[in-house]
Structure 1
Amino acid sequence: MVGTWAASYSLNDSDLLLIRDDGTYTQIYDDPDARRHYESGWLKWDIEFRESNFARLHLNGMRRAGDLDSIFNRESGGVDPELFTAIDYCENEVVEMPDGVVLIVTGATYETPRGIVLRQTRLAGSEWTWSFELMEE
C-alpha cells in the first residue's frame, strides 16, 4: 500500500493519499474551483485481509471527497451511519465508517502500477464510485 495514491472527482480537483510503511498516511485534497484545500496530519492506516480474498484498507480520520459537502466536512472523517449507508460492492455488505474511510483493494481492469486500485465504497442509492490509483514510482 505504500506510495502516493491519487483520485479526481471533477475537472480540476485532486485527492492524494501519501501512505508510509510505518502505518501512517496523510490526505491532501485540493479543489481550486471550490476554493477548498484540506491537508490532514499523519494518521493511522491498517489493512484487513478478508476470507473472500479481498482486502480493505482502513484509513482512520480520512475525509471522503467526491460526495456531499456534509460528508467531506465531518471533523472525524468517514460517513455518518445515521445518514448514509456505505456498501462494499465486492462482498455486497454494509461497511460502517463513522471515523474514517474504508477503501476496497482490488485488481485493475486496465494497466496500473502494481495492478491494483483502491476503490471507495458505494453509498446506498448512488451508482457512483471513485477509486485511487498509485502514481508512477
Structure 2
Amino acid sequence: MQDGTFISVGHPQETPRGDAYARDCPTRQLLDRIGDKWSVLILLLLGEEEMRFSRLKKRIDGISQKMLSQTLRSLERDGLVTRHAFATVPVTVSYGITALGRELLAALRLMIDWAETRMPDVVEAQRSFDGRAALAH
C-alpha cells in the first residue's frame, strides 16, 4: 500500500492487501476496532446467537449504553455485524454476526483462548518486572 491505497500482490485476481506498517493504511483502523475489548466481547456473544441491545448490555459487564451503541454501529459499518429492526411498538432491534464477522471470530477465539490460559504466566511476568523495577529505584 502506498499513500492510503491498496496494492495487489501476486496474481492480478488476488485480493489487494493493505500494509499495516504504512501510516495511512486503513488496515490500522480495522486493527484498532478488532483489538478493542468491547468489539471482541460483542463479536463473541453474537457468535453464539443473535441478540437484542438490552441483552448485550446485560451480558457485557461494565459497558455503557453509549459505548455499546457506538461499537455496534462501527462493527456494522465494517460489515462484521448486522442490525435487524422489526416493526413493533416500540421498534425491536437485534444484532447478529455476518459471515465476515465469523471469519474474524475464528481468529479471535484462538487469541482469547491463549489469553485465558496464559494469564497466570503474564501475571507472574508482571510481578517479576515490577519487583526488578522497584529494586532499580
TM-score class normalised by the smaller sequence? under 0.3
Higher-strand-fraction structure? 1
Report the TM-score, using the length of structure 2 for normalisation: 0.22
Higher relative contact order (CA 8 A, sep 6+): 1
Report the TM-score, using the length of structure 1 for normalisation: 0.22
- Structure showing greater Rg: 2
